[in-house]
Structure 1
């Protein structure tokens, strides 16, 4: 989507052309004053003409020192002026900095400003196209909804990527936003029509997501597509904290049941959420002023990094981190989330979040063994398979999200500065908000349409029903749970501050990794006990060291040999002997 509308671009080009013409007029006057009337050879220009060829014929009728009429027979209106001219590349914002020491310059500046002001007061600057007499998108949506046919409802979903009840809910939520407040004398398009155009644009990728293509399909102008989409995105972005919110206690219990049923291990139920990262590709290469190398990711494309925590039952986004560039590592981006900064505010004692290998180790996250470690023993492979069966739901969530709003597969935003970067982030978050709202009304047909989620358990299928409004009892339970977790987070912060004051950073990192490995070992043992599978060639101590039992014993033997070899020697001798080995 362009940064400015077509009208703004035309105004800018007109202002530049006016300033350029005034600068050219001034230069010709200087040539006339310093040369003889008749044949004048101008300085070398950046135009396509050869300045060293035959001279340019200029017929001039001078009436005064400040007014003249001229005709350049060798120059056309499309030729560029000399690159060293002060006003040749000036824009509207630069006109205020031009000197107006003499009367002619002041008159020219006033004339240019008057012309621009007159153009700004006009609604249409370009010649209108032939009227298509095509219905608007919202009119077509109303016909499809009122028909009641299943095929028409499917086509409704295809156009705006949501079902009719979800579309109405989105309109009701954002219609009161200040972006839709207009002059009553000129009300313009309704919030319903603007939302339809914005959702249509977000649901298209490639050439189908171009402004002209969207305008043709929606029955509006290109400028309206830009204006409507901007307003809807701002409105959706403003309600992100209410929609992209943490899971309720009821959602937690459903997620716990699903994880336990899926893995066959009740200990896995404490990991009722999972986090993953996804890259949002950019359709256009960022400009040089925006540092494009920072957007270049591991897949050899320009993108933005998006981190999201999801529920395995409904695939709802409950937390996110958006704004980091494509070259950012997932663990670094996730470190900016509030879950990492205040884990006990969101997780009760013993709860954790499932991750993959790229997020490191901590006491409130748990992931599989490394691929190299998993290749050593079938014990590691069995655990990784069980973890992947649960954690894969985060990938399903991103597939569902990008399948619904396919603009996330190639975001059509030209990033030139921080303002464009923030606008791209707003579009991504707004799409996540609309996706979360639409999930309340999605069912099996929508899952099959947007992403393949075959093989889902019956427990997860039931969670796709429309969520009911919480009653007073549920609200009380929610408030009590939040109060309990906030108090736990305060106690956790006090404890961590004391440990940080007493221990070194190396000791803190060692304790963090040790707790993470103890959590993984606890889950590994619980899984094998649940499925009644004995360990083949590993022990609890060897699994904490990411080794088989044989490798672990060999490592201990090497340590004993080194200690025995250094026993009885001085510190300097042992250091020299170790360097010699």
Structure 2
């Protein structure tokens, strides 16, 4: 149900009060003069309300005191709790974006300082629930709660998204060979781990909400990532509706459609049973498999799951640091709001990779487009839509099994 504006609430209140007043006097008001007076008063009040373009608003104090006297004087733990990064990490991100054209346009003199804009966006990315309310954030940072926060967010997002080619990219042939060499004793020729997740929407989308309703009985947008053994995100796809199966999302990605660009020789990705078995996607043996003996299949699946769970750790890092990914609070009403949700996820992935470069952060928060259409759950019983056996994929899985346990 659409939310009522303050103006609608006031009008409803006036009408209800007027109706009650009329009911109270109608029996004793024989000539109707009192009723006419009440209606005239209602008419005058409605005219006043309708003539007001906006309700009464109080400007948020634009004071730098909190930022200069409190935030900058927080100890390391409190600073990290507020902005989800350390002071050193904050400065690193700031240095990367401070000279971006978004902050150096002709009207840039009207902008608030870049470091404050970055702090606001990091706070938004790291907040969920009531803590992510716009009025609370505006009050905390001393900025306007109208369009100001939206403008700041889009501006910082644009600057971070321009870093994508530097921090979120598929490994080239040389780097893939290095990954194979580093992880050969784990799973030979595996270069990454793939899985999907859902970005929960706080409200039902306006357009075609049914398609966004997922098997988890929530409204959501699908996202898929590939990470390497260092938990660095190497590929992102986000934007499909929540009702899409993980296998369908994968089949629509360039990883599936343009395999020759992403894989060399015997290289492959590890995915759970929600994905279709193929030469470049190796999944566990199903319970009804007829190849090998049961102990061999179990041993393979245990080894496969032991290392594929890294992508779940990656999601854990991402969502515990950037808690806003647990529930997206902006309502999807058009293409622009949909793109904002996609950009939100990709920005978090880019920041994740920037922070992963600092070895001191590699164990933090572990609680255990490519195309613009940008859990370890062992797929919770959700099986791949691909029911046709893939002979080449099966042959490759058997070869990998031989290399693992030779």
Q: TM-score, normalised by structure 2?
A: 0.79
Q: 1:77 to 1:448 in 2, by over 3 A?
A: farther
Aligned equivalent of 2:321 = 404
* Residue 58 (structure 2) aligns with: 127
Name the CA shift for 1:232/1:133 in 2 (closer, same or farther; >3 Å): closer
Among 390, 398, 406, the alignment partner of 1:513 is: 390
Partner of residue 205 from structure 2, selected from 259, 281, 286: 286
Query: Residues 344 and 370 from structure 1, CA distance in 2 versus in 1: closer, same or farther, beyond 3 angstroms?
Result: same
Tell me: CA distance 1:249–1:404, structure 2 relative to 1, closer, same or farther (3 Å): farther
Shift of 1:211: 1.2
The answer to whether residue 191 in structure 2 is matched with residue 272 in structure 1 is yes
Gaps in structure 1 of 5+ consecutive residues: 1-8, 21-45, 60-70, 82-87, 89-111, 145-151, 454-508, 530-581
Q: Give how far 1:528 is off.
A: 2.5
Report how far residue 199 of structure 1 moved: 0.4
Aligned to 1:330: 246
Residues 134, 74 of structure 1: alpha-carbon distance in 2 compared, 3 angstrom cutoff: same
Using the alignment, how far apart are the partners of 1:380 and 1:80 within structure 2? Answer: 76
Query: Which of structures 1 and 2 has the bigger CA Rg?
Result: 1
Given candidates 302, 310, 313, the residue that maps to 1:393 is: 310
Q: Contact 2:226 / 2:235 at 8 angstroms: preserved in 1?
A: yes
Q: Does 1:299 align with 2:216?
A: yes
- What residue in structure 1 maps to residue 78 of structure 2? 155
Q: Is the 8 A contact 1:137 1:196 kept in 2?
A: no
Do the aligned partners of 1:141 and 1:156 also contact (CA within 8 Å) in 2?
yes
2:60 is equivalent to residue 136 of structure 1 = no
| Alignment-derived partner of residue 402 in structure 2 | 525
Higher relative contact order (CA 8 A, sep 6+): 2
- Residues 314-325 of structure 1 mapped to structure 2, 5 A cutoff: 315-325=231-241
Deviations 1:160-199 (A, max 9, x none): 2123333223223333334323556843311111011100
Q: Call closer, same or farther: CA 1:136–1:336 in 2, change over 3 Å.
A: farther
Q: How does 1:211-226 map to 2 (within 5 A)?
A: 211-223=134-146, 224-226=148-150
1:206-258, Cα deviation, whole Å (9 max, x unpaired): 11111122223334332343332222123223333332111256653553344
Q: Does 1:240 align with 2:157?
A: no
Cα–Cα, structure 1 residues 359 and 136, in superposed 2: closer, same or farther, change >3 Å? same
The residue number in structure 2 matching 1:164 is 87
State the Cα distance separating 1:141 from its structure 2 match.
Answer: 4.5
- C-alpha deviation, 1:393, in angstroms: 0.7
- The normalised TM-score by structure 1 is 0.56
Q: Say which SS state the counterpart of residue 274 (structure 1) adopts.
A: strand
Q: 1: distance between equivalents of 2:69 and 2:297?
A: 58
Distance 2:325 2:77 in 1: 22
Which position in structure 1 is the counterpart of 2:335? 418
Equivalent pair of 2:201/2:328 in contact (CA under 8 Å): yes
RMSD value, Cα:
3.6
Q: Which residue number in structure 2 is paired with residue 73 of structure 1?
A: 41
Structure 1 equivalent of residue 96 of structure 2: 173
Distance 1:184 1:282 in 2: 34
In the alignment, is the contact (CA less than 8 A) between 1:156 and 1:163 conserved in 2?
yes
Aligned partner of 1:205 in structure 2 is: 128
SS of the residue 1:220 aligns to: coil
Please give the secondary structure, in 2, of the residue aligned with 1:419: helix
Superposed counterparts of 1:555-566, under 5 Å = none
Q: 2: distance between equivalents of 1:515 and 1:441? A: 40
Secondary structure of 1:57's partner?
helix
What secondary structure sits across from 1:72 in the alignment? helix
